[in-house]
Amino acid sequence: MIKEEYKQMSCSDIGTRCGFQVRAKSGDEIMEHAKMHATKAQGMKEVWPETEMKIKAAIKTVSVDMSESVPKESILTTRQDFKFK
Ligand SMILES: [Zn+2]
């Protein structure tokens, strides 16, 4: 089993009721995606420094099993398949 470390951030971790989750190799990439998500999916006009800090604080390191059938290039995933009702 090959495990690699990734950074991961979930919207629910910052108190948002949505299933958005992003994984990337660096915290910077996470920020990019999280900001994009905040403006597009959640209709924020801009990401306030407070929100940015919340996102940063919510980023955690996870180890991903690379033997899962996920191609390396697409390990950066955004999941919105589970929604709150
Ligand atoms: Zn969200």
pLDDT at position 70: 52
Can you give the pLDDT of all 85 residues of the chain as single tens digits? 788 899 999 988 988 888 888 888 899 989 998 998 888 877 888 888 998 999 999 999 999 887 765 544 444 444 444 443 3
Query: Ligand 1 mean position to 80 CA, how many Å?
Result: 9
Q: What is the DSSP letter of 4?
A: E
Question: Rounded to an integer, what is the distance from CA 85 to the centroid of its chain?
Answer: 21
Query: Ligand 1 mean position to 13 CA, how many Å?
Result: 10
Long-range contacts of 35-44 (CB under 8 A, 24+ apart): 37/11, 37/78, 41/80, 42/16, 42/18
pLDDT at position 8: 92
What is this structure's pTM? Answer: 0.70
Query: Ligand 1 mean position to 49 CA, how many Å?
Result: 17
pLDDT at position 82: 40
Say how far apart CA 61 and CA 49 lie, in whole Å.
22
Query: Ligand 1 mean position to 37 CA, how many Å?
Result: 6
H helical segments located in the chain: 27-40, 49-58
